C-alpha cells in the first residue's frame, strides 16, 4: 500500500457542464479509492500558497480536464507544472453539455479506462 505522500496527486477541472462535473467526480473517485490524492485546482489557479506548494512538490500527477480547453492543465502551467499524465475527457467521447449532468454509465466506463492507463504510471 502506498503512503499518502507516494501516491500521485490528482487534479480536475470543475464547472457547470456535464464534462466538468464528470472530471471532478472521477478525480474524487480516484481519491476515495486510494488511487491518488486529490488537491484543489482552484487554489493553484488562484496562487494560494499552500496549494501551490503541493502542486509544485514534484510528485507524479494525474490531471483530468473535461474538454479541449484544458483549464486544470492551464492552471498548473502558470506555475511551470507539467502533469505526468493528462486526460481530456472529450477523447473518451464525453460530451460537454450545459445545464445537464453526465451519464453515470459512461462515467463508470471512463473510470475503468483511466485506471488501466494510470496503473502503467
Which spans of this chain sit near ligand SF4 (rule: CB under 6 A)? 13, 15, 17, 19-20, 23, 65-67, 69-71, 96
Which residue number has the CB closest to ligand SF4? 66
**46 neighbors 19 (Cβ within 8 angstroms):** no
Question: Can you name the residues that pair with 111 across neighbouring β-strands?
Answer: none
CB of 109 to ligand SF4, least distance (A): 18
Measured from the CB atom, is 7 or 51 closer to ligand SF4?
51
Listed in sequence order, the residues at least 6 apart from 27 whose beta carbon sits closer than 8 Å to its beta carbon are: 10, 11, 12, 36, 38, 62, 64
User: How far is it, in rounded angstroms, from Cα 100 to Cα 17?
Assistant: 7
Measured from the CB atom, is 53 or 68 closer to ligand SF4?
68
Measured from the CB atom, is 20 or 55 closer to ligand SF4?
20
Would strands 85-88 and 61-65 be described as parallel, antiparallel, or unpaired?
A: parallel
CB of 102 to ligand SF4, least distance (A): 11
Helices 104-118 & 18-32 angle (0-180, nearest 10): 50
CB of 58 to ligand SF4, least distance (A): 24
Measured from the CB atom, is 57 or 101 closer to ligand SF4?
101
Amino acid at each position: 500500500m502506498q503512503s499518502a505522500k507516494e501516491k500521485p496527486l490528482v487534479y480536475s477541472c470543475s464547472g457547470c457542464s456535464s464534462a466538468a462535473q464528470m472530471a471532478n467526480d472521477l478525480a474524487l473517485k480516484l481519491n476515495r479509492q486510494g488511487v491518488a490524492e486529490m488537491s484543489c485546482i482552484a487554489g493553484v489557479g488562484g496562487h494560494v500558497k499552500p496549494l501551490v506548494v503541493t502542486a509544485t512538490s514534484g510528485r507524479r500527477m494525474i490531471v483530468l480536464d473535461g474538454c479541449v480547453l484544458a483549464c486544470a492543465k492551464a492552471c498548473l502551467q502558470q506555475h511551470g507544472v507539467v502533469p505526468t499524465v493528462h486526460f481530456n475527457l472529450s477523447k473518451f467521447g464525453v460530451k460537454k453539455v450545459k445545464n445537464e449532468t453526465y451519464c453515470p454509465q459512461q462515467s463508470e466506463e471512463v473510470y475503468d479506462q483511466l485506471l488501466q492507463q494510470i496503473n502503467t504510471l
